[in-house]
């Protein structure tokens, strides 16, 4: 194959400029601004400010409330990622085998994807509502008093359920197309070697799905960390109370609801660093074990 080359270094830079400008304006500049304001306590209107050094950070490490949110976010992310990937993979493998009416099954399974997170949250609130929720009533018939918004873990369970439900279709679509990309010849060869469907899945299908899985893992972690905001907001009804909160939601609560720009900037810087570490770990250690065809 012939290598294409540019005659002059200026031209590729020119081509990159629009993208770099967008990143600079919408990412680097606000990020730098967040780092700067995390060292201040500032009147939201911009009239007064005090330099407080690392106070906004040390305060976080001393706050049991913040540590609770951090712990909850970790548990939440792990559970949401695990269940939404696991269930989607199971559904995709099963749907892949369906011959009659395959399209209908697939469409039905993808349907939920079209629902916006706040709407998903709202549906969750209706299902789990204290007095009228369907799921609450079902649980009550088993003798369990489910109390959304009062009991910490009940609220957490509702958040996780709704978040998983909302994310399954995305994963399903990717897993299904991943499965369909596995060459028929490979599957047939495996079929001759091994009669057991389960071991064929783990030996052949799963490794060949790994690139898709890795991509989805990153997407799902990002989803759990950030995109569940709308679900959390609707389930807690905008009132943090004694409800479980994710780190992103806390940034919003302190910064936007409370007008504490310094404190919330410090939290978003911490979040930025966490995501950076996570990304490095994922690419350095996990991706090495994955083979792209």
Partner 1 sequence: MTLKTTLSLGLAAGLLAGGAAQAQTEIEFWHAMGGQLGETVNQLVEDFNASQSDYVLTPVFKGTYEETLTAAIAAFRAGEQPNIVQVFDAGAATVIGAQGATIPVEQLLNDAGVGFNIEDYIDGVRYFYADSDGQMIGMPFNSSTPIMYYNADALAEAGVEPPTTWEEFAEVTGPALRDAGYIPLAQSHLPWIFTENFFSRHNLQFASNNNGYDGVDTEIMVNHPAIRAHFQALVDWQDEGLFAFYGTGWADNQNPFEAGEVAMWLGSSGSFGGIADRVDFEFSATVLPYWEAVTTEPTQTFIGGAALFAMSGFDEEENMATAAFFDYLTSVDAQVMWHTETGYVPITNAAYEASAEQGHYDEFPAAEVGIQQLLLPAGEFTRGYRMGFYVQIRDVMNREYTRILTGEATVDEAFEIIEAEANELLERFAATQG
Q: Which residues bind partner 1 (CB under 8 A)?
A: 41-50, 52, 59, 65, 130-131, 147-152, 236-243, 253-254, 256-260, 262-263
Query: Helix 152-180 vs helix 117-128: angle between axes, to the nearest 10 degrees?
Result: 130
Task: Please identify which residue in the block is written with the tokens 């990622």.
Answer: 81
Closer residue to partner 1 in complex, CB, 133/169? 133
Closer residue to partner 1 in complex, CB, 52/179? 52
Report, in Å, the least distance between residue 21 CB and partner 1.
21
Closer residue to partner 1 in complex, CB, 50/194? 50
**Among 262, 267, 228, 260, which Cα is nearest to 244's?**
228
Closer residue to partner 1 in complex, CB, 159/204? 159
Report, in Å, the least distance between residue 96 CB and partner 1.
40
Q: What letter would DSSP give residue 228? A: T
Report, in Å, the least distance between residue 79 CB and partner 1.
22
Residues 6+ positions from 129 with CB-CB distance below 8 Å? 136, 148
Q: What letter would DSSP give residue 49? A: E
Q: Are strands 40-42 and 49-51 parallel, antiparallel or unpaired?
A: antiparallel
Report, in Å, the least distance between residue 127 CB and partner 1.
15
Give buried/exposed letters for 218-254 (b at 16+ CB in 10 A, else e). bbbbebbbebbbbbbbbbbeeebeebbbbbbbbbbbb
Would you call 249 helix, strand, or coil by DSSP? Answer: helix
Report, in Å, the least distance between residue 54 CB and partner 1.
14
Report, in Å, the least distance between residue 176 CB and partner 1.
35
Closer residue to partner 1 in complex, CB, 125/270? 125
Q: Where are the beta strands (DSSP E) in 33-157?
A: 40-42, 49-51
Report, in Å, the least distance between residue 149 CB and partner 1.
3
Q: Which neighbouring-strand residues pair with 51?
A: 40
Closer residue to partner 1 in complex, CB, 120/261? 261
Q: Please answer whether residues 261 and 241 qualify as being in contact, where contact means their C-beta atoms are separated by less than 8 angstroms.
A: no
Closer residue to partner 1 in complex, CB, 86/258? 258
């Amino acid at each position: 194959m012939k290598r294409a080359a540019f005659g002059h270094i200026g031209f590729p830079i020119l081509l990159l400029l629009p993208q770099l400008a967008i990143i600079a304006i919408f990412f680097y500049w606000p990020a730098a601004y967040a780092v700067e304001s995390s060292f201040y306590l500032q009147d939201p209107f911009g009239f007064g400010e005090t330099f407080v050094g690392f106070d906004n950070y040390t305060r976080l490490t001393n706050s049991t409330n913040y540590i609770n949110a951090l712990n909850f976010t970790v548990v939440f992310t792990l559970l949401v990622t695990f269940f939404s990937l696991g269930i989607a993979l199971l559904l995709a493998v099963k749907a892949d085998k369906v011959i009659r009416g395959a399209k209908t099954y697939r469409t039905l399974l993808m349907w939920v994807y079209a629902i916006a997170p706040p709407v998903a949250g709202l549906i969750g609130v209706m299902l789990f509502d204290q007095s009228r929720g369907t799921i609450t009533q079902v649980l009550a018939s088993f003798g369990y008093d489910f109390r959304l918004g009062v009991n910490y873990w009940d609220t957490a369970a509702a958040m996780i359920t709704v978040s998983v439900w909302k994310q399954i279709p995305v994963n399903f679509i990717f897993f299904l197309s991943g499965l369909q990309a596995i060459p028929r010849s490979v599957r047939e060869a495996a079929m001759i070697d091994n009669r057991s469907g389960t071991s064929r899945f783990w030996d052949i299908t799963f490794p060949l799905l790994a690139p898709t899985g890795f991509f989805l893992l990153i997407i799902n972690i990002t989803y759990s960390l950030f995109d569940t905001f709308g679900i959390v907001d609707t389930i807690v009804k905008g009132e943090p109370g004694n409800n479980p909160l994710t780190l992103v939601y806390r940034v919003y609560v302190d910064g936007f609801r409370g007008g504490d720009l310094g404190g919330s900037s410090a939290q978003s810087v911490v979040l930025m660093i966490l995501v950076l570490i996570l990304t490095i770990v994922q690419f350095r250690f996990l991706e090495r074990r994955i083979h792209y065809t």
